[in-house]
Amino acid sequence: MCGILAVIGKRDVQEIKQLSARMSHRGPDENGIYQAPNGYILSHERLSIIDLKTGRQPIQGTNNAWVVHNGEIYNHAELRAMLPSHDFRTTCDSEIIVHLYEEFGDEICNFLDGDFSFVVIDGDKFLAGRDPIGVKPLYYGKDKAGNLYFSSEMKPIADQCEHFEAFPPGHYYSSEKGLVRYYKPRYFDYNEGVDDGNTVKLNDALTLATKKRLMSDVPLGVLLSGGLDSSLISSITKRIMRGTNQELHSFSVGLNHDVPDMKAARKVAEFIGTKHHEITFTVEEGIAIVEKLIWYLESYDVTTIRASTPMYFLAKAITESGIKVVLSGEGADEIFGGYLYFHNAPSAEEFQKETIRRVGLLSTADCLRADKSTMAHGLEVRVPFLDRYFVGAVMTFNPESKQPNKAAGKMEKDILRRAFDDKNDPYLPAEILWRQKEQFSDGVGYNWIDSIVAHTTKMVSDAEFATAAKRFPHNTPSTKEAFYYRSIFEKYYPHIDAVKSVLKWVPKWQKSEDPSGRANEIHEKSVAK
């Protein structure tokens, strides 16, 4: 994973190098820059994961096209075999993009099995693309002179562009066709092609999605919160490694060693046999890092900040341990309807529509949080649940096969739990496999959210909060906590387009709009009862 910056136009190369350095945290290993004869510029901040010796970017194709890429292309070896006449300069997965472009032009994104954002320049032509779900971040905009920018983060371009926005997932943008949607799965129409949920198919597909993501030339670990999703990914990863000499490192975080997630993670680690690491942080440390974290996150969303704080400390400790890549469980709650508010869905049709909506918003929520809170320390997170083929399969399951039903004793993500309920060779302890959904910002210790709410409420006076609608007319904060975060955000990102790039994470079908799982009556320790 890395940071990319491209300018389609004419700018001073040293100025662009300085702008790119604003996100050097994304690529602490090396950087590179290329300016084409026509003035177009590609800049790259590299975190070396594949091909440590020759994979420096930008990378030239067989002819005159060049590419910068952030992410991983898991089928790059198979794609290389399709292009025997091309001269490859590296063994890096990123290089395949520029060669595919030279062979097939704009229509290359559906060839790519992976998570990516990239820009190719070829004379006066260019192509930019983003992966189907938006696992990797990308922004684009124009300055007063008409120069077009593409960047992994807002930081390099927010003060350069008159207008900018998040690049939409599942799209490409070319000099010849403009913005085009290439990702058009069946599930976009909730009535289209609904299949019966098949647990064997589900098990096989998630195992394959996980196996792909073990591609690495550096040490690899797993994030293990103790919840169902990260525990399954950890268990599957450990099984894939059976028969090898590889040691799997797992990592969990909490306010102390006795919080819900930490205790559950410890059980899983002992059960599957990982080398486990527990990282703790204090409420005071969490509060102290909020302002810096908002700068990294480029978001003022309450859910994102609450959950990113422990993830920030976790990523720092992992990087310091020498691990550069981790697998994580993001995305399962969106595709399976795993959040507790899904229990309140009024019908299977509404349940299905909400899962589709949530998957469509992942790039503004969980994907953004997982990427930016970890890349603050140069750590790459890979997310098997968001494999495009796995998502495509699960999202076409009959919604009744996924919808929870408390009255009938059917938990959230019941079909996922059953797919990995192997009595002969268990994936997980039963109490973990059938553990209730606990949102990450709750599971690290209930006192974290309670404390940050209390702190931010104290930091914003009644008089200040009364000005919320006038001061923040767009996406007006509805709580003092939200007001506090928004005030910090606009100090760093005052542009209205930066403000509009952030979407609030709000649960449906419940009285409280607070994103904490404890705000739902289904939660075992609900504050709504």
Q: Specify the pLDDT at position 91.
A: 87
Q: If you search the block for the tokens 């350095």, which residue do you land on?
A: 21
With respect to residue 219, please indicate whether it lies within any of the assigned structural domains: yes
Contacts of 20 (CB under 8 A, 6+ apart): 3, 5, 31, 33, 43, 44, 45, 156
Residues 475 and 384 in one domain: yes
Residue where a domain stops, chosen among 139, 156, 184: 184
CA–CA separation, 230 vs 241, rounded Å?
17
Is residue 67 a contact partner of residue 73, using CB atoms and an 8 Å limit?
A: no
- CATH number of the domain at 83, please: 3.60.20.10
Residues 159 and 193 in one domain: no
Q: For the chain, how far is it from start to end, CA to CA, in angstroms? A: 44
With respect to residue 525, please indicate whether it lies within any of the assigned structural domains: no
Q: Which of 2, 92, 161, 367 is catalytic?
A: 2
Q: Burial of 417 by CB count in 10 Å (0-12 exposed, 13-18 middle, 19+ buried)?
A: buried
Locate 186 and state its tokens: 């069946």
Residues 160 and 222 in one domain: no
Residue where a domain stops, chosen among 184, 200, 227: 184
Q: If you search the block for the tokens 């096989």, which residue do you land on?
A: 204
Q: Specify the pLDDT at position 195.
A: 74
Report how far Cα 396 is from the mean position of its chain's Cα atoms.
Answer: 22
Residues 158 and 221 in one domain: no
With respect to residue 526, please indicate whether it lies within any of the assigned structural domains: no
With respect to residue 529, please indicate whether it lies within any of the assigned structural domains: no
Residue where a domain stops, chosen among 126, 149, 184: 184
Q: Burial of 62 by CB count in 10 Å (0-12 exposed, 13-18 middle, 19+ buried)?
A: middle
Residues 156 and 242 in one domain: no
Residue 309 CA: distances (Å) to CA of 25, 26, 65, 170, 499 = 17, 18, 40, 29, 21
Locate 151 and state its tokens: 């960047």
With respect to residue 331, please indicate whether it lies within any of the assigned structural domains: yes
- The helix or strand, by DSSP H or E, that contains position 214, with its residue range, turns out to be none
CA–CA separation, 372 vs 369, rounded Å?
6
Q: Specify the pLDDT at position 162.
A: 97
- Among 180, 97, 171, CA closest to 138: 171
Q: Specify the pLDDT at position 53.
A: 60
With respect to residue 128, please indicate whether it lies within any of the assigned structural domains: yes
Residues 447 and 515 in one domain: yes
Residue 390 CA: distances (Å) to CA of 230, 347, 383, 421, 435 = 16, 24, 11, 19, 23
Q: Specify the pLDDT at position 118.
A: 98
Q: Specify the pLDDT at position 513.
A: 66
Q: Specify the pLDDT at position 220.
A: 87
Q: For the residues of 365-396, what is the DSSP string, one character each?
A: THHHHHHHHHHTTT-EEE-GGG-HHHHHHHTT
Q: For the residues of 267-317, what is the DSSP string, one character each?
A: HHHHHHT-EEEEEE--HHHHHHHHHHHHHHHT---HHHHHHHHHHHHHHHH
CA–CA separation, 354 vs 371, rounded Å?
24
Q: Specify the pLDDT at position 412.
A: 94
Specify the number of domains making up the chain: 2
Range of the domain at 340: 188-519
Q: Specify the pLDDT at position 1.
A: 58
Residues 167 and 210 in one domain: no
User: Across-strand partners of 73?
Assistant: 114
Residue 161 is among the residues annotated as catalytic for this protein: no
Q: Specify the pLDDT at position 504.
A: 84
With respect to residue 73, please indicate whether it lies within any of the assigned structural domains: yes
Apex 350 CA angle, 348 and 352, nearest 5: 70
Q: Specify the pLDDT at position 439.
A: 55
CA–CA separation, 218 vs 215, rounded Å?
9
pLDDT tens for the chain, 529 residues long, are 589 999 999 999 999 999 999 999 998 677 899 999 999 999 998 665 555 565 678 999 999 999 999 999 999 999 999 999 998 988 889 999 999 999 999 999 999 999 999 999 999 999 999 999 999 999 999 999 999 999 999 999 999 999 999 999 999 999 999 999 999 999 998 887 677 778 889 999 999 999 999 988 777 899 999 999 999 999 999 999 998 888 999 999 999 888 888 999 999 999 999 999 999 999 999 999 999 999 999 999 999 999 999 999 999 999 999 999 999 999 999 999 999 999 999 999 999 999 999 999 999 999 999 999 999 999 999 999 999 999 999 999 999 999 999 888 899 999 999 999 999 999 999 999 998 866 555 567 678 899 999 999 999 999 999 999 999 999 999 999 999 999 999 999 999 999 999 998 888 888 776 665 545 555 555 455 5
Locate 70 and state its tokens: 């952030």
